A and B are shown apart, each in its own frame.
Chain A
Amino acid sequence: DAGVTQSPTHLIKTRGQQVTLRCSPISGHKSVSWYQQVLGQGPQFIFQYYEKEERGRGNFPDRFSARQFPNYSSELNVNALLLGDSALYLCASSLDHTRAGAVETQYFGPGTRLLVL
């Protein structure tokens, strides 16, 4: 089975531009989460989506937005790019986040490396 896929793998943008990153979860997984990983740091939670609804949001500005489609794929959009947005953007999928007490382990994609100049 294919794992989590992300596109593009690398991206170079300039300050002020907008970017859209894409993620396809593992088949059968309904929840997608987005993370930002700055070099030398652990991933920071940005969003979680389940069944096309936002279920969680980290401490990121409104320039960051996301959505999930009926096929459970997801897009992350970042507007008005800043130099500090340069990072590896990771998408992770999990089966179901709604079961109380369940450990919904996440499986990560390879990430999209964004460089803002």
Chain B
Amino acid sequence: QKEVEQDPGPLSVPEGAIVSLNCTYSNSAFQYFMWYRQYSRKGPELLMYTYSSGNKEDGRFTAQVDKSSKYISLFIRDSQPSDSATYLCAILNTGNQFYFGTGTSLTVIP
């Protein structure tokens, strides 16, 4: 079983839609959860990180963690064409090793 599972999509939404991206993880010891955005042929860019269950908001982005279900989500409100990218969830274990999901490809259509 992979440490992190992520639906690869692709996901296509109209501009202004609310986008929901999700990952599940296997090890309840994982403590820190990140979301990265990766544009084509670029390195991943950190969007948000959190370490507790609940919601964390940053502008149009909300990260949600449910440790009881081992489920993490990223919501994008009022999606824009510039949000079109691949979104990667990542989890950091206590040994400071990162485990990434496979990424979800998102296209926001104007």
Contact = CB atoms under 8 A, between A and B. Distances in A.
Contacts of A55: 96
Contacts of A35: 98, 100
A35 B98 CA distance: 10
Contacts of A113: 41
Given A103-B51, A105-B34, A45 B98 contact: yes
Nearest to A109: B43
A106 interface: yes
Contacts of A103: 32, 49, 51, 92
Contacts, number: 58
Interface stretch (A14-22, A36-44, A79-87): A36-44
Contacts of B6: 42
Interface string A36-74: 000011111100100000011010000000000000000
Contacts of B17: none
B88 A108 contact: no
A4 B90 CA distance: 19
Interface of B: 4, 6, 8, 32, 34, 36, 41-46, 49, 51, 88, 90, 92, 95-103
